[in-house]
Amino acid sequence: MRVVEPTRAEPGCVRIHVYESMRGPATWFIHSEWIDEPAFDVHVELPHTQRFVAAVEELITHPLQAVRTKQIG
């Protein structure tokens, strides 16, 4: 949750939300929307994002997966 507020403050962030699976309580999803790809690319390099990724990678038993999507409907 510590990464949410700094991310929301980034100029290119439209929104970010954290979700916990109701069927698998150890499964979490973060959904964020950005004004464009370059804004997301900047986000990935920021210190709070790098700290988050490093912390998560130490806690999970499978590779961290980031999926970029686009709305189609």
- Ordered by where they begin, the domains of the chain are 4-59 (3.30.70.100)
**pLDDT at site 64:** 86
Determine the pLDDT at residue 12: 97
What pLDDT score does 36 carry? 95
Q: Pairing relation of β-strands 13-20 and 28-34?
A: antiparallel
- Please, what are the averages of pLDDT over each run of 10 residues along the chain (73 residues)? 94 96 85 95 96 92 86 89
CA distance 50 to 43: 9
**How high is the pLDDT of residue 25?**
72
* pLDDT attached to residue 20: 92
